[in-house]
Amino acid sequence: MRLRYLCVWLLFPSAMLGQSPSGKPTSTPLLQTVRKTGISLPVKKVVLYKNGVGYFEHKGQVQGNQEFGIEFTTTQLNDVLKSLTLVDLQGGSINAVRYNSVAPLDEQLKGLQIPLSEEVTSAAFLIALRGTRVEVRSGASTASGKVFSVETVEKETPSGGTTHVTQLAIVTDAGEMRLFELTPGLMVRAAEADIQQDLSHYLTLMGSTRSKDVRRMTISATGSGERDIMVSYISEVPVWKSTYRIVIPKAPAQAFLQGWAIVDNTVGEDWTDVKLSLVSGTPQSFVQNISQPYYTRRPVVPLPESVMLAPQAHEATMTTTDLAAPAIATRGGAGGVPGGVAGGSMGRVIGGVGGGTGGGRFALPPPPGEVTEDEEAAEVTDALRREEAAAEGLAVGELFEYNLKEKITVLKNQSALVPIVQSPIKAEQVTLITTNDNSAEPGTPLRALWLHNTSGLTLDGGTFNVQEQDSFAGEGIMDLLHPGERRLLSYAADRAVRVVKQDPSGSRTYTRVTVLQGILSMHSEEREATTYLVYNADTTPRQVILEHPIRNGWKLLDDVKPEETSATRYRFRVAVQPGKMEKFTVNERRLEVTRIAVSNVTDSQVAAYVQQGSVKPGLEGELRKVIAKKSEVSGVDQGLKSVQQEADFINRDQARLRENMKALKGSPEEKALLQRYTKELDGQEDRLALLQKQAAVLKTQRELLQTELDTMVMAFSVDESL
- The DSSP result for 294-313, as a single string, is --PPPPP-PPPPP-------
Backbone angles phi, psi at 622, to 5 degrees: -65, -40
341 burial class (0-12, 13-18, 19+ CB within 10 angstroms)? exposed
Instruction: Express each pLDDT in 641-657 by its tens digit.
Output: 999 999 999 899 888 88
Domain boundaries, the chain: 9-21+103-208, 501-600, 617-721
Given this model, what pLDDT does residue 506 score? 80
Q: Return the exposure string of 629-664: e unless at least 16 CB atoms fall within 10 Å of the residue's CB, then b.
A: bbebbeebeeebeebeebbeebeeebeebeeebeee
pLDDT value at 8 more than 90 = no
Given this model, what pLDDT does residue 13 score? 34
Tell me the pLDDT band of 34, cut-offs 50, 70 and 90: very low
Given this model, what pLDDT does residue 374 score? 55
Weakest mean pLDDT among 42-56, 104-118, 254-268, 341-355: 341-355
**Radius of gyration, CA atoms only, the chain:** 47
pLDDT value at 35 more than 50 = no
Residue type, position 686, single letter: D
Beta-strand pair 414-434/542-549: parallel
Given this model, what pLDDT does residue 463 score? 92
Mean pLDDT computed over every residue of the chain: 76
C-alpha–C-alpha distance, residues 470 and 422, integer Å: 18
For 326-360, the DSSP string reads: PP------S----S-PPPSSTT-SSSPPS---SS-
Q: How many other β-carbons are positioned within 10 Å of the β-carbon of residue 34?
A: 18
C-alpha–C-alpha distance, residues 54 and 48, integer Å: 4
pLDDT value at 577 more than 80 = yes
Highest average pLDDT, of 86-95, 190-199, 234-243, comes from: 234-243
31 burial class (0-12, 13-18, 19+ CB within 10 angstroms)? buried
Tell me the pLDDT band of 22, cut-offs 50, 70 and 90: very low
Long-range contacts of 369-378 (CB under 8 A, 24+ apart): 373/275, 376/350, 377/350, 377/351
What average pLDDT score do residues 587-612 get? 88
Beta-strand pair 446-452/486-493: antiparallel
pLDDT value at 547 more than 90 = yes
Query: CB–CB of 276/397 below 8 Å?
Result: no
Q: Which residue has the higher pLDDT, 268 or 346?
A: 268
pLDDT value at 36 more than 70 = no
Identify the three-state secondary structure at position 465.
Answer: strand
Q: Which residue has the higher pLDDT, 190 or 324?
A: 190
Given this model, what pLDDT does residue 264 score? 92
Given this model, what pLDDT does residue 293 score? 67
Q: What angle do CA 179, 182, 187 make, to 5 degrees?
A: 90
What average pLDDT score do residues 172-198 get? 82
Q: Which residue has the higher pLDDT, 497 or 161?
A: 497
Tell me the pLDDT band of 338, cut-offs 50, 70 and 90: very low
pLDDT value at 514 more than 60 = yes
pLDDT value at 348 more than 60 = no
Tell me the pLDDT band of 192, cut-offs 50, 70 and 90: confident
Domain 617-721, CATH 1.10.3470 — does that match? no
What average pLDDT score do residues 488-512 get? 88
What average pLDDT score do residues 541-562 get? 91
What average pLDDT score do residues 487-497 get? 93
pLDDT value at 579 more than 90 = yes
pLDDT value at 90 more than 90 = no
Largest CA distance in the chain: 142
What average pLDDT score do residues 318-330 get? 43
pLDDT value at 401 more than 80 = yes
What average pLDDT score do residues 284-302 get? 71
Weakest mean pLDDT among 108-117, 149-158, 518-527, 566-575: 108-117
Q: Which residue has the higher pLDDT, 166 or 494?
A: 494
With pLDDT > 70 as the criterion, what percentage of the chain qualifies?
Answer: 75
Tell me the pLDDT band of 153, cut-offs 50, 70 and 90: confident
pLDDT value at 380 more than 70 = no
Weakest mean pLDDT among 105-114, 152-161, 467-476: 105-114
Closest C-alpha among 272, 206, 228, 240 to residue 49 = 240
Closest C-alpha among 261, 265, 256 to residue 279 = 261
Weakest mean pLDDT among 200-204, 222-226, 635-639: 200-204
pLDDT value at 363 more than 50 = no
Q: Which residue has the higher pLDDT, 318 or 613?
A: 613
C-alpha–C-alpha distance, residues 411 and 272, integer Å: 7
Given this model, what pLDDT does residue 125 score? 76
Query: CB–CB of 89/319 below 8 Å?
Result: no
pLDDT value at 493 more than 90 = yes
The number of angstroms, rounded, from the C-alpha of 117 to the middle of its chain's C-alpha atoms is 36
C-alpha–C-alpha distance, residues 509 and 613, integer Å: 9
What average pLDDT score do residues 493-511 get? 87
What average pLDDT score do residues 343-368 get? 36
Q: Which residue has the higher pLDDT, 120 or 244?
A: 244
Pick among 1.10.230.10, 2.30.30.100, 3.90.1300.10, 1.20.950.20: CATH of 9-21+103-208: 2.30.30.100
Residue 549 is inside which H or E element, if any? strand 542-549
Residue 399 half-sphere exposure toward CB, CA atoms < 13 A: 25
CA distances from 161 to 152, 153, 154, 155, 164 (A): 16, 14, 10, 8, 11
Instruction: Express each pLDDT in 57-80 by its tens digit.
Output: 988 888 888 888 777 777 778 888
For 393-421, the DSSP string reads: ----S--EEEE-SS-EEE-TTEEEEEEEE
Residue type, position 4, single letter: R
Given this model, what pLDDT does residue 343 score? 34
Residue type, position 391, single letter: A
pLDDT value at 123 more than 60 = yes
Q: Which residue has the higher pLDDT, 202 or 211?
A: 202
pLDDT value at 382 more than 60 = no
Given this model, what pLDDT does residue 100 score? 62
Given this model, what pLDDT does residue 21 score? 37
Instruction: Express each pLDDT in 659-710 by its tens digit.
Output: 888 887 777 777 788 888 888 888 888 888 999 999 999 999 999 998 988 8
Highest average pLDDT, of 378-387, 593-602, 665-674, comes from: 593-602
What average pLDDT score do residues 515-529 get? 89
